[in-house]
Amino acid sequence: MLLGVNIDHVATLRNARGENEPSVIEAAKICAEAGADGITTHLREDRRHIVDEDVFRIKNEINCRLNLEMAATGEMQKIALKLHPEACCIVPEKRAEITTEGGLDVFSQQEKINEFVKPLLTDNINVSLFIDPSEQQVLAAVKTGVKYIELHTGAYSRAFGSGDEEQEFKKLQIASKIAQENGLIVNAGHGLNYKNVFRMKEINGLNELNIGHTIISRAVFKGLETAVKEMLYIVKFS
Ligand code: PXP
């Protein structure tokens, strides 16, 4: 299983001071050197953390696969086509949310998403759709022509350790199975931490996990390199 490290919150910290520390580029470099399989960043409409210059510098200066998370807007599509990241994950975006709250509703916006992903796919970008673990959304994702989905693990993560954990976990397992049976490559992420991530290994054939907040949080105390290596150990060898 691969690990993409989401470094948005290094930018959150940087922007809190309005200066250049901590450096997002340095963070991407350390993650890559620690063995991360990819760097993930979410360029939000309001640029509250990652900004345009960050993604272009990561792409040009860091020897690591870049996964650009973005909303399905014309502005973001233009940036992606100029940046040409290895991967693009299409996420829903609400202005006031603290973080991405739910999955992209592909089913209700089938035509829009079909059209939106076309130029990205033509540009050979590995497009992924960030969706809730439901059969309806998985089958709608299949119809768009993308090869990847990322299953939203937020509900599972929140339910971890409670009476709802099993139910939320099963939804991920079933959605992943249906997706793979329909030829999709399945990634997962959101809210995963050093405890609840272990169960991702019970889901057959998961390709990649994208994890951010917990790694950056751990890095505050342990150092980024150690934080990434510990997660890599869990993801790859445990
Ligand atoms: N995957 C996607 C699509 C996301 O939007 C996010 C959050 O930006 C993550 C993964 C990482 O979530 P977390 O920071 O909770 O690990």
Q: Decide if 49 contacts 12 (C-beta within 8 A).
A: yes
CATH fold label, 2-236: TIM Barrel (3.20.20)
Other Cβ atoms less than 10 A from the Cβ of 183: the count is 8
- Does the pLDDT at position 57 exceed 80? yes
Task: Using alpha carbons, select from 29, 120, 19 the residue that is nearest to residue 5.
Answer: 29
What pLDDT, on a 0 to 100 scale, did the predictor assign at position 154?
A: 97
Average pLDDT over residues 125-142: 98
| Residue closest by Cα to atom 12 of ligand 1 | 190
Residue nearest to atom 7 of ligand 1 (CA): 190
- 120: nearest Cα among 91, 163, 89, 162: 89
**pTM, whole model, 2 decimals?**
0.94
Q: What pLDDT, on the 0 to 100 scale, is given for residue 96?
A: 67
pLDDT at 162 over 90: yes
Q: Which sequence spans correspond to the domains of the chain? A: 2-236
State the pLDDT at residue 238: 85
Check residue 170 and report its DSSP letter: H
Cβ neighbours of 207 (radius 10 Å): 18
Residue 6 near ligand 1, beta carbon < 6 Å: yes
Residues in CB range of 188: below 8 A, 6 or more apart? 150, 151, 152, 153, 172, 176, 200, 203, 206, 208, 209, 210
Position 223 scores a pLDDT of 85
Residue 5 Cα to ligand 1 middle (Å) = 9
Does 24 sit in the ligand 1 pocket, CB within 6 Å? no
Look at residue 3 and give its three-state secondary structure.
Answer: strand
pLDDT of residue 102: 87
Q: pLDDT of 96-123, one tens digit each? A: 666 777 899 999 999 999 999 999 999 9
The total of other beta-carbon atoms located within 10 Å of residue 52's CB is 12
Number of the ligand 1 atom closest to the C-alpha atom of 193? 16
Confidence of residue 212 (pLDDT cuts 50, 70, 90): very high
Ligand 1 pocket residue status of 103, Cβ below 6 Å:
no
pLDDT for 95 equals 67
Residue numbers annotated as active site: 42, 69, 190
Residues 2-49 have pLDDT tens digits of 999 999 999 999 999 989 999 999 999 999 999 999 999 999 999 999
Cα dihedral across residues 220, 226, 230, 236: positive or negative: positive
| Mean pLDDT computed over 227-233 | 91
